[in-house]
Structure 1
Amino acid sequence: MIGWRETVSLPDLGLMTFRAKIDTGALTTALHASGISRIEVGGKPWVEFLPDHGSLVDTSLCRLPILHSRKITNTSGIPDERYIVATTLQIGEHRARIEVSLADRTDMTFPIIIGRSAMRLMRLTVDPARSWLQSPRIADPKERQDQ
């Protein structure tokens, strides 16, 4: 059982302990990324990008093979062509290799949404009335911090 908000990690990308929204309305997990560009590595399509996991710490450039690209309807209802990559997701003690779309989530509260396909792979159920069931709550860096 997980809550509608959890602390997650993408260890393959070096992104540890950041806030995620669990989104049963989304099929695919989506990670906020900037500077997304397609490159060739050994004659095969790869993507390089800067992931943003809501930390105030700078993030290193990531490079991953492109599994495929497809149109995914964004929160405004507009189809958006996105690169899909594979990486490891960890929520509490649960870990799986999942597909992730790279998207501009600049205006969104959470840098990542976890979609149904990842939940199904990890055999997770969501309690929409609760948060932080698999992990401790971490503060949102955008929230005002009292000194």
Structure 2
Amino acid sequence: MPKRTIGRTDKADFPVLGFYDIDIKIDTGAYTSSIHCHSIVEKENKLVCTFFDEEHPLYNGQEMIFEEYDIAIVRSSNGETQYRYQVQSSITIFSKTYKISLTLSSREDMRFPVLIGRKFLTKKFIVDTEFTDVSYNLKNNESKDIIS
């Protein structure tokens, strides 16, 4: 399968989670992908969390419950190790839906609520940092073609 070129940032849909046109940052230095989440607790063998925070325009305060989840070891660029919850979901980008593993991380100080790492990018995409919003612009142009 030929690889698509993706830029340094884009917007993607996470249909299982109910999020659409979410800002994502492509980070080839990160192995795992992560999504901004807070209030993460384990209750009765289930993971309960709230995505985003009150500052994010899509924040709705709704708790999401995951019956299946893992704990991943994530090493930062400075060598610090963290344990994070990890859930399986899906991402739609370039009009195609893929499975994706997302670690749940507090990213309130970050500009992008979602970070896409190498584990997801490998064998699917080539990253060209000159570009931004390639998939999102393609999606919008396809929508305009349908309306015309």
Could you state the TM-score of these two structures normalised by the residue count of structure 2? 0.80
> How big is the shift at 1:114?
0.6
Structure with more helix by fraction? 2
Alignment of 1:6-45 (within 5 A): 6-40=10-44, 45=45
Whichever of the two has the greater Rg, that structure is 2
Deviations 1:65-99 (A, max 9, x none): 34321221246542111011100011131311111
| Structure 1 residue identity aligned to 2:33 | T
What is the aligned residue count?
132
Q: 2:29 aligns to what SS in structure 1?
A: coil
Q: What's 1:145 paired with?
A: none
| Structure 1 residue identity aligned to 2:125 | L
Gaps of 5+ in 2: 139-148
- Does residue 47 (structure 1) correspond to residue 51 (structure 2)? The answer is no
Q: 1:136 aligns to what SS in structure 2?
A: helix
Q: What's 1:5 paired with?
A: 9
Q: What's 1:62 paired with?
A: 64
Instruction: Output the CA distance in 1 between the equivalents of 2:79 and 2:48.
Output: 26
Identity over the aligned pairs, expressed in percent? 25
Gaps of 5+ in 1: 138-147
> How big is the shift at 1:37?
0.6
Retained in 1: the 8 A contact 2:47–2:69?
no
Q: 1:134 aligns to what SS in structure 2?
A: helix
Could you state the TM-score of these two structures normalised by the residue count of structure 1? 0.80
